[in-house]
Structure 1
Amino acid sequence: MGLSVVQGFTKSLAMTVLSEIGDKTFFAAAILAMRHPRRLVLSGCLGALIVMTILSALVGWAAPNLISRKWTHHITTLLFLGFGLWSLWDAFNEGETEELAEVEKELNADVKVNGGETTKYDKDTDELKKQSRPFLSQFFSPILLKAFSITFFGEWGDKSQLATIGLAADENPLGVVLGGILGQALCTPAAVLGGKSLAKQISEKIVALSSGVLFIVFGIQSFLSTLEP
């Protein structure tokens, strides 16, 4: 059991770090942190990613109880190999700044739809607004909730979420959760503190190539491994 937790942990940690660096939610956290208080953005984004990791691992853990263990194993193998080839394709066919430009465009459009962001407030008016806010909004900042929702729905159905489900179906779910949370705890603060400048220094092509190779290695290892009874 101990070894299976460690194996799930190391696989999940490596996959999360390589999947999240340069990901859409990574850039979203970086851009939001430039416009809003970093602690609120960090709390919202990291909270969303932790919740998503736990939910994905639970789905992966439940999958063998709904489908036969043999089928989930084969699906996981194909999933890793497919994601590996997808990442390699992205590395050779997409521009370096395409993801960043796309996220900036989406967030700027969101600002325009909401009538822009105000930077100066009258103290009395602000106090009245605070008093009239719904119960939850008084404890959770709208900025934190915005960061949480953008990250959560941006990650939903993403390659890294599906890979976490597949990994939890094939490895120890506890190890997958712990490795995923640690990976998110490393990547999200990096994005919030200097994600945009960091992204310009790290080649997206190298990251995509590395994650592609990692997924293929996971796929080959899963293909060669024997199913536990």
Structure 2
Amino acid sequence: MKLLGLCQGFSKSLAMTVLSEIGDKTFFAAAILAMRHPRRLVLSGCLAALVVMTIFSAFVGWAAPNLISRKWTHHVTTLLFFGFGVWSLWDGFHEGGESEELAEVEAKLDADWTKANPGPAKQNGKVADDVKKETRPFLSQFFSPILLKAFSITFFGEWGDKSQLATIGLAADENPFGVVLGGIVGQALCTTAAVVGGKSLAAQISERMVALSGGVLFIVFGIQSFLSAAE
């Protein structure tokens, strides 16, 4: 029974994470950052932030039934699933265009890039810095400003996001270990695709189809939760 609960939490979390994160702002941010900085640093920073966020969200969801009755957390989770389903379907039917979110993220990162690199006069200095980075020890490269930038952009971009709240709801109603494992695998798949595929992959994603698919998935989760009794 425990194995069944673990697998159910894993599969739900994996599906929810993939459909929530593909085409998300943090997905686009990872894709654009990977075009300008070493991919290993961007991937490390983004994944670290997403793993921390997933574990934190699952912990909150796991702790909720200990603070509130299991019956109430079950009902709240059911309402969250239906709410997120309607929200995603609304976004899918009323999106002005899937390129808008990509353009918004790119504009913000361009502004940060311009501040960090104010003029062509610093290009030679930048090249010299890149050469120095290549000769740095491994640990110095790992804890670099690029990694911290990728971490902070991803972490704060996910804070309060639909996927974070959905993870909390799942962990309150499913096996939290399964939810964490499914969330981490899903985050790793999406972030790796964004970093490796780059902006070209992000631009080809149909955000509308992802939103509609996610909406249907949340509605299915809501129906399943409504029909099942609180443990």
TM-score, normalising length: structure 1: 0.90
Aligned to 1:37: 38
**Cα separation, 1, equivalents of 2:84 and 2:48:** 25
Distance 1:123 1:21, change over 3 A: closer
| Residue type at the aligned position of 2:161 | D
Question: By how many angstroms is 1:25 displaced?
Answer: 0.2
Aligned to 1:202: 205
Aligned to 1:120: 124
Instruction: Select 1:217's aligned residue among 216, 220, 225.
Output: 220
Question: By how many angstroms is 1:63 displaced?
Answer: 0.6
Q: Deviations over 1:53-96 (max 9, x none)?
A: 00100000001111111111111111110011110111111112
Q: Secondary structure at the match of 1:120?
A: helix
Q: Deviations over 1:14-59 (max 9, x none)?
A: 0001101000000000000011011100000011101110010000
Alpha carbons 2:12, 2:182 under 8 Å: kept: yes
Aligned to 1:25: 26
Distance 1:69 1:46, change over 3 A: same
Aligned to 2:84: 83
- The alignment status of 1:176 with 2:176, answered yes or no, reads no
Alpha carbons 1:8, 1:179 under 8 Å: kept: yes
Distance 1:181 1:171, change over 3 A: same
Question: By how many angstroms is 1:115 displaced?
Answer: 4.7
**Cα separation, 2, equivalents of 1:206 and 1:141:** 37
Q: Deviations over 1:193-229 (max 9, x none)?
A: 114222333311111110000001001111110111x
Alpha carbons 2:14, 2:186 under 8 Å: kept: yes
Matches within 5 A, 1:128-143: 140-143=143-146
Equivalences, count = 223
**Cα separation, 1, equivalents of 2:75 and 2:89:** 21
Alpha carbons 1:26, 1:195 under 8 Å: kept: no
Q: CA RMSD in A?
A: 2.3
Alpha carbons 2:34, 2:198 under 8 Å: kept: no
Aligned to 1:111: 113
| Residue type at the aligned position of 1:212 | G
Aligned to 1:60: 61
Alpha carbons 1:48, 1:152 under 8 Å: kept: yes
**Cα separation, 1, equivalents of 2:23 and 2:98:** 10
Q: Give aligned-pair identity as a percent.
A: 79
TM-score, normalising length: structure 2: 0.90
**Cα separation, 2, equivalents of 1:178 and 1:21:** 18
Instruction: Select 1:156's aligned residue among 140, 152, 159.
Output: 159
- The alignment status of 1:187 with 2:190, answered yes or no, reads yes
Q: Which runs of 4+ in 1 moved over 6 A?
A: none
Q: Secondary structure at the match of 2:124?
A: coil
Distance 1:137 1:149, change over 3 A: farther
Question: By how many angstroms is 1:169 displaced?
Answer: 0.5
Aligned to 1:165: 168
Q: Deviations over 1:168-204 (max 9, x none)?
A: 0010000000000110111111000114222333311
Unaligned 5+ residue runs, structure 2?
A: none
| Residue type at the aligned position of 1:97 | S
Question: By how many angstroms is 1:109 displaced?
Answer: 1.9
Alpha carbons 2:30, 2:43 under 8 Å: kept: yes
Unaligned 5+ residue runs, structure 1?
A: none
| Residue type at the aligned position of 1:110 | D
